[in-house]
Amino acid sequence: MIRLALVTLLAAIVLTPQTAASQAQSFRSTADVVPLFVTVVEKGGRLVTDLSRDAFQILDNGKPQPITVFDNSPQPVRLIVLLDVSGSIADTLPLLRDACHALVHRLTPGDLARVGTFGQEIAISPVFTRDADALVASLPATVTSGQPTPLWTAIDRAITEFAAVADGRRVVLVLSDGKDTGPLEFGQKFLSQIEIGERAERDDVMIYGVGVRSSLASAMRSGARTLGGVLSSTLPDPGLGTVALDTGGGYLELRGSDDLAATFGRVADELHQQYLLGFTPPARDGKVHKIDVRLRDRDSRARVRKSYRAPR
């Protein structure tokens, strides 16, 4: 079931073709505007996509701010998909290669993607493209078991790859079934969950996390010496969900009994059914400001990044 769902996710992501995406304006944080991509869901979990500007209220450090930008049309995406090949996900590699073809064929005219893996090394395809053959060729044909999980280092590398991206919304989608194991090389900087969250904030990068629970059989091969250690090794890194939600993305955790195909299809819907709100920063103090987006309708909730750094 997990294998099928992972393929469905990559096949469906980015997204139902909508030519409006290619015409949408790209927004970055500047001295004049702070852009917020907001996902709105009802209590039952259904996406809400038909709200007007007056349905929202933006608070900067608790103080209401006028909404200067409002757009609910699809925004172009620059997507980097990172696949953890250190554990049981490696078993799905042949299916994931096929899924990359499907992913590229579902890109909208304004969207581009790269794909990468992380384990013993971190490898990300060289350019943003919709060329399925080029993307699939960047994935390894086989992987070995027992590899490390350089989770934060891999995400940091992906954020760096956006440095030359001039347009499009920056999104990293991470699939992982393990906990971060730290740097790959001796002397390499140790990166924490907090540091990655702060960097994503500075660079306007949204992170989506997909945590895969490993099978018990896989956990038994983890080397854990106690029952508690074995059970813990079946769980993905808890920090992945925190970073994803703090950056305004989403987090899903996979279980073998879930309707995974339907769940992952929702991720695809979200990326092109978010609201773009913008406001003028009330202070140019170079400090981190807390953000809260509230809805007039108390039966719905908004998911958005938690903070931004004001310009000077």
Q: Among residues 274, 278, 242, 282, which one has the least CA distance to residue 27?
A: 278
d(CA 132, CA 77): 17
Q: Which two tokens stand for residue 191?
A: 């990166």
125-143 pLDDT tens trace? 999 988 878 888 888 888 8
Angle value at C-alpha 287, between 289 and 26, nearest 5 degrees: 65
Which residues in the chain show pLDDT less than 70? 1-31, 87-92, 94-106, 214-234, 255-268
pLDDT value of position 135: 82
Instruction: Return the CATH fold of 2-16+74-268.
Output: Rossmann fold (3.40.50)
pTM of the model: 0.84
pLDDT value of position 288: 93
pLDDT value of position 13: 47
pLDDT value of position 85: 86
Three-state secondary structure along the chain?
CHHHHHHHHHHHCCCCCCCHHHHCCCCCCCCCCEEEEEEEEECCCCECCCCCHHHEEEEECCEEECCCEEECCCCCEEEEEEEECCCHHHHHHHHHHHHHHHHHHCCCCCCEEEEEEECCCEEECCCCECCHHHHHHCCCCCCCCCCCCCHHHHHHHHHHCCCCCCCCEEEEEEEECCCCCCCCCCCCCCCCHHHHHHHHHHCCEEEEEEEECCCHHHHHCCCCCCHHHHHHCCCCCHHHHHHHHHCCCCEEEECCCCCHHHHHHHHHHHHCCCEEEEECCCCCCCCEEEEEEEECCCCEEEECCCEEECCC
Domain ranges of the chain: 2-16+74-268, 28-73+274-309
d(CA 293, CA 270): 17
pLDDT value of position 223: 47
pLDDT value of position 175: 84
Handedness of CA 33, 283, 200, 6 (dihedral sign): negative
pLDDT value of position 271: 85
Cis amide leading into 15 (omega within 30) = yes
